Amino acid sequence: MRTIESIAELRAAVADWRRAHPGGTVGFVPTMGYLHEGHASLIRRSAAENGLTVVSVFVNPLQFGPNEDFDRYPRDPGRDRRVAEAAGCDLLFMPSVDEMYPRPTATRVVISGLTERLCGASRPGHFDGVGTVVAKLLHIVMPDHAYFGMKDAQQVAVIERMVEDLNFPVRIVPCETVREPDGLAMSSRNVYLNAEERRQAVILYETLQLAEEKFLEPGMTPGKLAEAMRESIRRAPLAVTDYAEVLTWPDLRLPEERPFDAMPPGSRFIAALAVRFGRTRLIDNRLLEIRTPAGKE
Ligand code: PAF
C-alpha cells in the first residue's frame, strides 16, 4: 500500500495503474478516518470488485457546523494505515486541509430537496460540505465504483442524486451497515460514549427493530410509527431524540398520513433516527418496503 498526500501524485498513480491495466476498474472508499470494521468491510468489498482500491482519509471541515466536533473528531493516522492495508487498500490518500482547500472555496455543491429533513435539518450546511468534498474527491480519484455505508443513508441518497444530476461517470455502491454484537451501528463517534451511554446506545437498534415490527401492524401509519419510535427512545434515560422520522425512500419526502397497508406494494420508506447522548450524536436507520402479497408476484 502506498500513502499519498498530494492530489497531483494521487492522480498520477491512478493514471499509471490504468495505463498498466487496460480495462481494469478502480474502486474508491471515501472516509474521515478513525477506521473501524464498517470501513474495513467497504474496503474489502472494493478490493474484491476492483483491480485498484483507493481509500481517502480526510476530516472535511466544510461539513462540520461551527459548534460541532471538527476539532475533537477522533484521528489516528497510524491505525488508519494498518486497517486500510489489512483490508486491501492499494493507495491511501491522506491530504491536508491546505491541499484540499488551498483557499476558501467559492464553489459549493448544493443538493436540494433531499437535504431539508433529518441530518440536513439538524446540521445546516452539512450536506453542502459533503457534496462539495465528495465531488472534489470523485474528480481527483476518477473511480469506476465508490462505496458508501448505509448507516449514513441520507448521505447515500444525496450522493446518488448528485452523481445522477451531474453525470459523474461513477457507480455508487451502497453497503450494509456493520454492527457491534448488540446491534449498535459502528461509528467513529462511538468512542465518545462513556460506559453507561454505550450501554444505553443500543436503544437506536432496538427502536429500529420495533419500527420494523410495527410497520406490519394493520392500520399503522407513518406518523404513528414515528411517534412509536420517539416513545421507544424515551426508554433510555440518557437518550435525547434529535429526530425520529419515517420518510419515503430514496427521495426523503414526508409520506401521506394513511395506513401502510393501503399503499401500493413496492413503496419504500426509511425509518431514521438521530439520538444524542451528552455531546455525542448517533444516527441509524432501517429501510422498509411494502411487500407484494404472497401469490401475487
Ligand atoms: O461519510 C463520511 O465519512 C464523510 O461524510 C465522507 C463521505 C468521507 C465525506 O467527507
Domain ranges within the chain, ordered by starting residue: 2-175, 188-289
pLDDT tier at 295 (50, 70, 90 boundaries)?
low
The DSSP result for 120-178, as a single string, is HHHSTTHHHHHHHHHHHHHHHH--SEEEEEGGGHHHHHHHHHHHHHTT-S-EEEEEPPP
Residue closest by Cα to atom 6 of ligand 1: 31
188: nearest Cα among 86, 66, 37, 45: 37
Q: How far is the CA of 228 from the centre of ligand 1 (A)?
A: 30
Q: Is residue 296 pLDDT above 80, yes or no? A: no
**Beta-strand pair 280-289/268-277:** antiparallel
Residues with CB under 6 A from ligand 1: 30-32, 60, 63, 130, 133-134, 152, 155
Residue 157 contacts residue 164 (beta carbons within 8 Å)? no
Residue closest by Cα to atom 5 of ligand 1: 130
For 292, which DSSP code?
A: P
What is the position in ligand 1's atom list of the atom closest to the CA of 152? 1
What is the position in ligand 1's atom list of the atom closest to the CA of 32? 3
What is the fold, at CATH topology level, of the domain defined by 2-175?
A: Rossmann fold (3.40.50)
Q: How far is the CA of 90 from the centre of ligand 1 (A)?
A: 19
- Helices 126-141 + 7-20 axis angle, to 10: 50
Residues 225, 227, 230: CA angle, nearest 5 degrees: 115
Residues belonging to the active site? 39
Amino acid 297: pLDDT: 56
Fold matches, 2-175 and 188-289: no
Amino acid 200: pLDDT: 98
Please provide the CATH number assigned to the domain covering 188-289: 3.30.1300.10
- As a whole-number percent, the residues of the chain with pLDDT over 70 amount to 99
Q: How far is the CA of 169 from the centre of ligand 1 (A)?
A: 19
Amino acid 178: pLDDT: 98
Among 57, 100, 132, 155, say which to mutate for ligand 1: greatest number of ligand atoms within 8 Å of CB. Answer: 155
pLDDT tier at 158 (50, 70, 90 boundaries)?
very high
108: nearest Cα among 77, 72, 135, 145: 135
Amino acid 50: pLDDT: 99
Q: Is the dihedral of CA 59, 64, 66, 67 positive or negative?
A: negative
Average pLDDT over all residues of the chain: 97
pLDDT tens per residue across span 212-266? 999 999 999 999 999 999 999 999 999 999 999 999 999 999 999 999 999 999 9
pLDDT tens per residue across span 173-206? 999 999 999 999 999 999 999 999 999 999 999 9
Q: How far is the CA of 233 from the centre of ligand 1 (A)?
A: 26
User: What integer is the mean pLDDT of 76-87?
Assistant: 98
Residue closest by Cα to atom 1 of ligand 1: 31
pLDDT tier at 53 (50, 70, 90 boundaries)?
very high
